[in-house]
Amino acid sequence: MTPKLHPFCLVFALLLASLTAFAQQEPATTQAIQFFKSQTKALGLSPSDVAEFRISDAYQTRHNGVTHVFLNQQYAKLDVLGAVANINVRPDGRILTFGARFIPNLAQKVTHTTPEVTPESAVKTAIQTFGMDKGKPLGAAQKVSDFLYVFPNDGITLTPVKAKLCLLPLDNQSVKLVWRINLYEPDGQNEWIAGVDAITGDLVSFYDQVLHCDFTPAESHCEDTRAHTHFPKPTDNPLLAPPPPPNSEAYFVLPMPLQSPYWGDAEWVTSPADPVASPFGWHDTDGTDGAEYTITRGNNVHAYQDILAQNSSIGDEPDGGDSLHFGFPYDPANEFPYTQIEAATTNLFYWNNIVHDVFYHYGFDEVSGNFQENNYGKGGLENDAVAAETLDGSFVNNANFNTQVDGELSRMQM
């Protein structure tokens, strides 16, 4: 008989493990900073350029023991956007690799550190610039700090709007004081990251945070610039799922390594959850035996259809029942994909979990900022399982992914 661990002992063991990891990480971080400062001249920087920074992240990769330290250059307590350094420290204290994009002669390039434009005015400028002004008033901001304000979305954007006071290098000679603003469009297709000059109020920079997989008229795919001609498989009937194995969770999907229906057929995959990456299975969220969900939802991803482009579930996810058997008919030649939405959503759930489990073993785990609802006491920020939307109704051929910081929801639209 395997003895059960008392709850207090379990909590103590997890606490001890986290303290041990932190104790190992702390000297490595100190070593990284000391090494970085020793390279000031070689990097073309002056002592004043490395005098002020913050540790934006530091964590240790489990499988090789390497500690990764990230520094963000600052001036007058303001982050310099894009000015980062990364130092990777071996378990024995030696430096593995490092790189830096700190701005040289920073103090001479900064002209302002106090804004003349309010965050409200900057946000309104950005909203108008991107055509998101629908006549709705901008709600009152919550002041998080002197440098950060958060505005309610109130139907203008998909998520709350953040306005952060930062320094933005525009070229080799100028560094502007800006309000960095995020505007996530209601349809989820674009999240604009805009820089509004905090002195003049002009828009000086912007980019789209959402990564898109675009299909040209010639149907060239993201992974290959060559055009592909598709020949649907002739079939008289949908591929009906045979009875699944008993006493085992199972998914009727296009299994790894198939990248599309044109590479093979759907089949049953049983108990695919990796015991290290997903120790309680794909449908767990509380860290104890037994699934919390029998639908396509769990610790790593919540997959649901979004035909009406609502960017949220309406409660009709595929349900595998207590046995977690997700077997739905699929016909690759069907020209009406909405009629087999359960199969598509199950496949999306399967592949999101596969990606999570595979990359976990390459270091993309809890402390490095992966996507999990529950981090099981292993560090990092949680409550950020991927929201994966099947047949998103915003557009067609619109696959995209919006990666947020650790602890915030990231969205996939397919």
Tens digits of residue pLDDT in 307-350: 988 889 999 999 999 999 999 988 888 888 889 999 999 999 99
Would you place residue 173 in the very low, low, confident or very high pLDDT band (cuts 50, 70, 90)?
confident
Q: Which residue has the tokens 């190992």?
A: 24
- For residue 4, what pLDDT is reported? 36
Torsion on CA atoms 166, 130, 141, 186, rounded to nearest 10:
-120
Would you place residue 240 in the very low, low, confident or very high pLDDT band (cuts 50, 70, 90)?
low
- For residue 14, what pLDDT is reported? 35
- For residue 217, what pLDDT is reported? 53
DSSP state of 36: H
- For residue 229, what pLDDT is reported? 36
CATH pick for 245-414 out of 1.10.3720.10, 1.10.10.10, 3.40.50.300, 3.10.170.10: 3.10.170.10
Helices in 193-334 by DSSP H: which ranges? none
Phi-psi region of 283 (alpha: psi -120 to 50; beta: other; left: phi over 0): alpha
% of the chain at pLDDT higher than 70: 86
Would you place residue 225 in the very low, low, confident or very high pLDDT band (cuts 50, 70, 90)?
very low
Q: Which residue has the tokens 């919550």?
A: 142
Cβ atoms of 374 and 301 closer than 8 Å: no
- For residue 246, what pLDDT is reported? 66
Architecture of domain 21-109: Roll (3.10)
Domains 21-109 and 119-210 share a fold: yes
CATH assignment of 119-210?
3.10.450.40
Burial class (CB in 10 A: 0-12, 13-18, 19+), 193: middle
Instruction: Count Cβ neighbours within 10 Å for each residue of 60-81 and write b for 16 or more, e otherwise.
Output: bbbeeebbbbbbbbbbeebbbb
Phi-psi region of 287 (alpha: psi -120 to 50; beta: other; left: phi over 0): left
Amino acid present at 64: N
- For residue 206, what pLDDT is reported? 96
Q: What are phi and psi of 390, to 5 degrees?
A: -85, 135
How far apart CA 226 and CA 395 sit, in angstroms, is 24
Burial class (CB in 10 A: 0-12, 13-18, 19+), 235: exposed
- For residue 18, what pLDDT is reported? 38
Q: What are phi and psi of 216, to 5 degrees?
A: -75, 170
Compute the average pLDDT of residues 35-48: 96
pLDDT score of 223 more than 50 = no
Length reported for the chain: 414
pLDDT score of 365 more than 80 = yes
pLDDT score of 57 more than 90 = yes
Indicate the domain borders of the chain: 21-109, 119-210, 245-414
Q: Which residue has the tokens 């969205």?
A: 411
